[in-house]
């Protein structure tokens, strides 16, 4: 039986293949913080900067949304690829490994109701 963690990992990998520029930005911004002397940093903060760059720094035409489930996977991938920076991102237990898969697609902004 597939777990929620496996399901989210598959969604993140699919997103990565569709938007490899996010990985490039994640590495760029992570190394920028390392080079500034940070011993630890937040993968979520890196993703917020990516969101800013893609929205404010984009062409105004092409847009996509970066999911909230992705930072944990990108942080782990970064530290696997660059083991000299193991521990730069503090990791938590991925409790979704104990939950069954939802068998639902990754949510998009259209899946939420907004108050005007």
Cα 87 from Cα 78, distance rounded (Å): 10
- pLDDT tens-digit readout, 15-35: 899 889 899 999 999 999 999
Kindly report, residue by residue over 53-107, the tens digit of the pLDDT. 876 545 555 556 777 889 999 999 999 999 999 999 999 888 887 888 888 887 7
| 59: helix, strand or coil | coil
pLDDT at residue 102 in the model: 87
Would you state the pLDDT for residue 31?
Answer: 98
Token pair 């496996």 is found at 6
pTM of the model: 0.83
Contacts for 44-48: CB closer than 8 Å, 24+ residues apart:
44/71, 46/71, 46/74, 47/71, 47/74
- SS3 (DSSP) at 41: strand
């Amino acid at each position: 039986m597939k777990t929620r963690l496996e399901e989210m990992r598959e969604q993140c990998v699919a997103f990565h293949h569709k938007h490899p520029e996010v990985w490039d930005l994640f590495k760029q911004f992570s190394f920028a913080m390392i080079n500034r002397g940070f011993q630890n940093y937040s993968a979520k903060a890196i993703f917020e900067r990516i969101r800013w760059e893609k929205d404010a720094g984009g062409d105004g035409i092409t847009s996509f949304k970066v999911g909230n489930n992705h930072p944990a996977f990108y942080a782990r991938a970064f530290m696997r690829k660059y083991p000299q920076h193991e521990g730069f991102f503090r990791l938590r237990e991925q409790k979704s490994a104990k939950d069954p898969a939802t068998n639902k697609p990754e949510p998009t902004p259209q899946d939420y109701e907004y108050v005007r």
